Amino acid sequence: MANLNVKINDLELKNPVMTASGTFGYGLEFADFVPLNEIGGIIVKGTTLEPRQGNDYPRLAETAQGMLNCVGLQNKGVDYFCENIYPQIQNIDTNMIVNVSGNSPETYAACAEKIATLDKIPAIEVNISCPNVKSGGMAFGVTCEGAASVVKAVRKVYHKTMIVKLSPNVTNIADIARACEAEGADSVSLINTLMGMAVDIEKRKPMLSIRTGGLSGPAVKPVALRMVYDVAHAVKIPVVGLGGISNAKDAIEFLMCGATAIEIGTANFIDPAVTKKVKDGINDWLEAHGVKDVNEIIGAIQ
């Protein structure tokens, strides 16, 4: 076995493979398909201060090499999470990370503060990039000022590892990453979904209830790789890469572009055991190439 351990600030991952929020439930739903303790980290569903119903249906549309979704952060709120979900997931033997969202810096911080009280949650991922909600979400992730305001508010109350999830729907993602780093983010993850649209020509209507949705899956990988490369060269904090990863080769591309860890999203819907296969595949590649430690390939592309 090659060494697969990586670190994001103080957060130690047994391997660089994590699950992307919104695509792996709370982990428990996948326990029959994949050994959860072999995943480096599980980033659970987006959580907000108040419960959210999400958007009307239809919320999903298939596209060439990907999918569009406009789920809209449906969840039962942070109090429900703390009381009902946390007791069920706290003993899963990996890093359980909560994805936090809000509609103002204050609601992000209030949600993060509640999560901070949970001993077995070592980190949060702050989602400033959801394209599918009317207020908040991506609005914060598309300007340096908006991103900074959320990171600053959360940093005041949250002292464990804070990963900030960035939007690709911007002109210069490296500037947004630098703004997050300046306010004390421990890491940035990217990319969230790219805004897109699909049309039903028979009905002469958009496929999705709110017209637009977020594009994910293999179609977005080249865009995500380019952004990870740009951001990894713009900040000193560790970068988490995602967008279209569905096998070990994809994951290694992200690591070489500068990601310390990666997340897998849409591919979980196609193969619920993909995370373990990617982890094993990274190890196989390292062994086949005589590389003893995964950290040696991180940022290999200058």
> What is the smallest separation between the CB atom of 235 and ligand FMN, expressed in angstroms?
19
- Residues of this chain that interact with ligand FMN (CB under 6 A) are 20-23, 45-46, 69, 71, 73, 99, 127, 130, 165, 192-193, 216-217, 220, 242-245, 264-267
The CA distance from 265 to 274, in Å, is 10
Closest CA to 279 of 10, 19, 23, 50: 19
Residue 273 or 293 having the CB closest to ligand FMN: 273
The CA distance from 219 to 115, in Å, is 34
The CA distance from 281 to 261, in Å, is 15
The CA distance from 297 to 291, in Å, is 8
The number of CA neighbours under 13 Å toward the Cβ of 3 is 10
> What is the smallest separation between the CB atom of 193 and ligand FMN, expressed in angstroms?
5
Closest CA to 252 of 190, 302, 298, 192: 298
H/E stretch holding 197 reads: strand 194-197
> What is the smallest separation between the CB atom of 85 and ligand FMN, expressed in angstroms?
14
Residue 21 or 161 having the CB closest to ligand FMN: 21
Contact 262, 255 (CB under 8 A): yes
Residue 105 or 141 having the CB closest to ligand FMN: 141
Question: Please, which residues have CB within 8 angstroms of residue 99's CB and are 6 or more apart in sequence?
Answer: 21, 22, 43, 44, 45, 46, 47, 124, 125, 127, 165
Residue 103 or 192 having the CB closest to ligand FMN: 192
Cβ atoms within 10 Å, residue 18: 27
Residue 149 or 216 having the CB closest to ligand FMN: 216
> What is the smallest separation between the CB atom of 181 and ligand FMN, expressed in angstroms?
19
> What is the smallest separation between the CB atom of 182 and ligand FMN, expressed in angstroms?
22
Contact 64, 40 (CB under 8 A): no
| Residues marked as catalytic | 130
> What is the smallest separation between the CB atom of 246 and ligand FMN, expressed in angstroms?
8
* Chain residue whose CB lies nearest ligand FMN: 22
b/e map of 174-189 (b: 16 or more CB within 10 Å)? bebbbbbbebbbbbbb
Closest CA to 102 of 126, 131, 70: 126
